[in-house]
Amino acid sequence: MTTPRRQFVKTAAAAIATARLPILGANDRVQLGIVGLGGRGNDHMRDFNTLDDCRITAVCDVNQAARERGVATVSKAKGHKPVEFTDMRKLFESKEIDAVSLPLPNHWHALAAIWACQAGKDVYVEKPASHNMFESQKMVEAARKYKRMVQVGSQSRSMPHKIRAIQMLREGAIGTIVGVRVLCFRRRFSIGHTPDQPVPPGVDWSGFLGPAQMKPYSLNKFDYNWHWFWDTGNGDIGNQGVHEMDIALWGLGRMNWPKNVFSTGGKFLWKDDQETPNTQQATYTWDDCQIVFDVRNLPTPPEGLVPMTGPNYVGDIFFGDLGFMTLDQRGYKVYKSAAGNFVGARGAGAGGREKYELLEEGRSQPGDTAPHMKNFLDAVKSRDHTKLTAEIEIGARSASFCHLANVSYQLRRPLNIDANGKFINDAEANRMQTRNYRAPYVVPDRV
């Protein structure tokens, strides 16, 4: 039975949540704050500035030089000077801001997004959505509790040629899908060694580290190469690879966890500061299908029918019982078996060759991020999170699959997984689903 007091509390909570909803009409511009003004932050400023239905009202970064560049970028492009913040929490408190964009280092994604949701802001957060599996769960909980629009920067979900490719898989173009080959071939080089040194003037080093434990400043830990340290990044499987993982799960239509994961590899050749691997393989297995993920930062040849254009290739190959599909940033190709057309005395099973026909191919269109951002702004106005193409539940799950592989890689053993995404009878592995947070930068159990 609900008591009058309990009913009052529920009603008051609902009223508070409703009060935090921005009242925006179809023609209103979303007032946007951007937190994190490094390389990807520059992309966010450029792309959001191309959209007429938003206005970059505020910018924030722990680096004074980056803030100054950000203010100058917006001023030059749009003719107004955004408000400058050094602490994201102060930006989140501003009543002049409807939504925030978070092109931050990986270890900051979850806490910044949760703080923003708690402050009543809608959120566009870069990939990978989270730094660990615990954070994935808490981000979804925060979005639901505070009724926020939370979009993850998995822009493939808004690209027409990829949408069409996934539609074809759904319609059975290659039959029943039994496997996906995920390819992340990104040529990179050794980052060398940079010494510990005094923090440069204008940089809030503690603010940069945030949830990570305190450590001495060095250039490699700060300027992009934070990707290759476990405290702040997730290696290339969680950097570039999370895009391809998201496409694999999208194409499979999988919402359940695999039965097991096994990841191997290493940091070969390079003698430098990097902690994460430059070569990594991960296998995810269900009863009826499998994902095989291959990450390489070293020279790599073409993969079957997949061409190489320069030193890099990232994409997915879907395998069905009737054919296969290659899908990447340039387009897709669907090959279907020419039924009954075999060469060999006893058919393909005895060493014959099965012929395939190119059923359909599609090409990408210029621009990928701006349409994804437009989708986010439209959802902010409509207040319908189901309209988001990469809603937080989608993005957080794709990130978590990358985290599964990294836990297995670090422990050097295969791991079994239950229906809730927990490791079975493995306390050590389950402890690695979260991290030792540094107060006050703690992702809470109750958001």
Write the pLDDT tens digit of every residue in 58-77.
999 999 999 999 999 999 99
DSSP-based three-state secondary structure for 181: strand
- 377 domain-assigned: no
**Which of 156, 174, 196 is the C-terminal boundary of a domain?**
156
SS3 state at 234: coil
The reported pLDDT for the residue numbered 7 is 41
Average pLDDT, the chain: 91
Could you report the per-residue pLDDT of 86-112, keeping only the tens digit for each?
999 999 999 999 999 999 999 999 999
Same domain? 306 vs 238: yes
Lowest mean pLDDT among 279-288, 336-345, 401-410: 336-345
pTM of the model: 0.92
* Residue 348: per-residue pLDDT: 46
Instruction: Indicate if 138 and 59 belong to the same structural domain.
Output: yes
State the Cα–Cα distance between residues 381 and 22, nearest whole angstrom: 8
- Residue 374 half-sphere exposure toward CB, CA atoms < 13 A: 11
The reply to whether 359 falls in a domain is yes
Cα separation, 68 vs 76, in Å, equals 12
Check: CB of residue 397 under 8 Å from CB of residue 136: yes
Shared domain check, 206 and 144? no
Q: How many residues does the chain have?
A: 447
Query: Which CATH number goes with the domain that contains 152?
Result: 3.40.50.720
Residues 410 and 272 in one domain: yes
Residues 55 and 178 in one domain: no
- Asked whether residue 349 carries a pLDDT value surpassing 90, the answer given is no
| 204-224: average pLDDT | 97
The CA distance from 148 to 124, in Å, is 10
Q: How many CA atoms lie within 13 A of 145 on its CB side?
A: 16
Phi, psi of 259 (to 5 degrees): -75, -30
Q: In terms of domains, do 12 and 114 share one?
A: yes
Q: Which domain holds residue 186?
A: 158-369+399-431
Residues 220 and 330 grouped into a single domain: yes
**The token pair that represents 44 in the structure block:** 């966010």
CB-based contacts of 95, cutoff 8 Å, min separation 6: none
- Domain membership of residue 208 (yes or no) is yes
Residue range 5-32: average pLDDT? 54
Same domain, 301 and 185: yes
pLDDT per position as a tens digit, 239-254 = 999 999 999 999 999 8
Domain assignment present for 445: no
Q: Are residues 50 and 175 in the same domain?
A: no
- Determine, yes or no, domain membership for 447: no
Task: Tell me if 380 is assigned to some domain.
Answer: no
Q: Does residue 215 fall inside a structural domain?
A: yes
Q: Please give the tally of structural domains in the chain.
A: 2
Strands 313-320 and 323-328: antiparallel
Same domain (yes/no): 76, 169: no
* CATH number (domain holding residue 266): 3.30.360.10
Q: 386-417: per-residue pLDDT in tens?
A: 999 999 999 999 999 999 999 999 999 999 99
Do residues 337 and 225 share a domain? yes
Rounded Cα–Cα distance for residues 284 and 277 (Å): 18
Q: What pLDDT does residue 13 have?
A: 41
Do residue 286 and residue 324 come from a single domain?
Answer: yes
Q: Is the dihedral of CA 305, 311, 315, 319 positive or negative?
A: positive
